[in-house]
Amino acid sequence: MAKPKVFISSTCYDLQQIRDSICTFIRNFGFEPILSENGDVFYHPDLHTHEACVNEVSNCQIFLLIIGGRFGGKYIYDKSKSITNAEYDAAVKSNIPVFTYIKRNVLDNHHLYQENKGKPFISELDFPAIDKQCDALNIFGFINQVRKASINNAYEAFDIASDIENHLRKQLAAMFFDFLKNREITKQIDHTSKSVDSLVVTTDKLEDLVKSLYVSVDKQHATSQINLIQSKSMAKSFLVELVSESSSGVVNAKTQSELEALSKIDPTSMSWYEYLAAITLFERAESTTDEIYYRIPLDVLDYENDGFHGITIEPENPYQQEIEYMYKNGICALNEEQRLELLTNFSIFKSLF
């Protein structure tokens, strides 16, 4: 049976007792602890031991970082880092969950440093929790790297091993709960996806059935009626898509006569975006570049909601190509009466009643 591997990263000399205790705790939890001193790391004959330790991190599912008062050995490939630094970087790069624990007295010294850095006397301060004062800035910098990370930047102070165990127990329980919750959500998504797929199949069958009924009832006009239904559907989809881009959300016609005037506009003589301007949904905006830009008419903008919306015309844009297809096969295929019916459903005039 597979077990989650937990990589324990820290300096060894000063934290050996902590490492041993945490190793036992993790093993009792049913996980597999990975410690370099226990022979858990594969030391590849073609790699330096430092690189072998760093490479082992990516084989683990959890990374446990423990920071004490020693900086540790310098990483052979980057002398500005310790081996622990390099292992942490590998965990972050592999997107492995990191749980960080910092000795309380080291954290207190770090706080003292943060409060006084930049002051003239900072170089004279002695940090008693740090084994070698020359390593203090490196250790504090490492703590800052962890706590200032954009994600997974939590850390916990500890005095003894049981502090880590008590906190880690809660974190692992929460992680397991999150796994179960996400599993439940995934099932719901899968169920919804299957329902949608089933609905698509049913819709296709219904469409085929309607077509067959038209053919059986009126063979002479069946094709034209089916094409009209498809054209109306595409025309409606065209306006639905573009209305969603508009903060006004409607065609700006307030009377029946205004609507009738808009329905007389011949869409076949213009592009889809020119038609949008013609029916008052958008207007062309001035541009200092070669770009063609259409925006919400200024007299219907909602400034309180930051309502400046618009579309930059991009002929190669797949979404706009789909819009153009719906326009040519939908709007352009309708006659004046059919366009009037469609525009009425998207007008201010309708919303007034």
Residue 192 within any structural domain of the chain:
no
What per-residue confidence (pLDDT) applies to 298?
A: 43
Average pLDDT over residues 83-103: 96
Does residue 36 lie in a domain region? yes
Looking at the fold, whether 40 and 143 belong to one and the same domain comes out as yes
Mean pLDDT lowest among 108-122, 153-167, 206-220: 206-220
**51 vs 317 pLDDT, higher one:** 51
| Cα 127-129-135 angle, rounded to 5 deg | 65
Residue 208 lies in a domain: no
For residues 239 and 123, state if they share a domain.
Answer: no
Q: Give the pLDDT mean for 189-195.
A: 73
Residues of the chain with pLDDT > 70: what percent? 80
Domain count, the chain: 2
Q: Which of 334, 212, 169 has its CA nearest to residue 265?
A: 334
SS (H, E, C) 242-308: HHCCCCCCCECCCCHHHHHHHHCCCHHHCCHHHHHHHCCCCEEECCCCCCCEEECCHHHCCHHHCCC
What is the rounded (10 degree) CA torsion for 56, 58, 60, 65?
Answer: 80
Q: How confident is the model at residue 131 (pLDDT cuts 50, 70, 90)?
A: very high
Asked if 141 and 228 sit in the same domain, the reply is no
Inside any domain, residue 267? yes
Q: Report if residue 304 sits inside a domain.
A: yes
pLDDT for 102 equals 97
Co-location of 129 and 234 in the same domain: no
Determine the Cα–Cα distance for residues 18 and 159; give it in Å rounded to an integer: 10
Place 204 in a pLDDT band, splitting at 50, 70 and 90: low
Q: What is the mean pLDDT of residues 78-102?
A: 96
- Residues 6 or more apart whose Cβ sits within 8 Å of residue 176: none
pLDDT at 304: 39
Which residues, 6+ apart, have CB-to-CB distance to 46 below 8 Å?
none
Verify that 141 and 237 share a domain, yes or no.
Answer: no
Of 194 and 125, more confident: 125
C-alpha 82/C-alpha 11 separation (Å) is 9
Lowest mean pLDDT among 84-88, 175-179, 192-196, 292-296: 292-296
140 and 235 in a single domain? The answer is no
Q: Mean pLDDT over all residues of the chain?
A: 83
Q: What residues make up the domain containing 128?
A: 5-159
Q: CA angle, 333 as apex, 328 and 337 as ends, to 5°?
A: 135
Q: Indicate whether 203 belongs to any domain.
A: no
Query: Of 142, 159, 176, which residue is a domain's last?
Result: 159
Query: Which residue has better confidence, 188 or 336?
Result: 336
140 with 252, same domain? no
| Residues 124 and 230 placed together within one structural domain of the fold | no
Hey, what are 33's tokens? 């602890």
Looking at residue 186, what is its pLDDT?
78
> Quick one: DSSP state of residue 121?
G
Last residue of a domain, one of 159, 176, 207: 159
The per-residue pLDDT for 305 is 41
pLDDT in tens, 302-329: 433 444 456 777 878 888 888 889 899 9
Cβ neighbours of residue 294 under 8 Å, at least 6 residues apart?
Answer: 273, 276, 277, 282, 283, 284, 285, 310, 311, 313
Asked whether residue 59 falls in the same domain as residue 143, the answer is yes
Q: Tell me, what CATH number does 149's domain have?
A: 3.40.50
317, part of any domain: yes
Residue of higher predicted confidence among 162 and 289: 162
- Are 239 and 152 contained in the same domain? no
Give per-residue pLDDT as tens, 249-280: 566 667 888 888 888 999 999 988 888 888 87
| 25 touches 32 (CB < 8 A) | no
User: Are 113 and 23 found together in one domain?
Assistant: yes
Q: What does the pLDDT read at residue 1?
A: 79
Q: Is residue 206 part of a domain?
A: no
pLDDT in tens, 205-234: 676 666 666 666 666 666 777 778 888 888
- Mean pLDDT in residue range 29-38: 93
Please check whether residues 22 and 142 belong to one and the same domain. Answer: yes
Domain boundary among 113, 132, 159: 159
**Across 145-161, average pLDDT:** 94
pLDDT of residue 348: 57
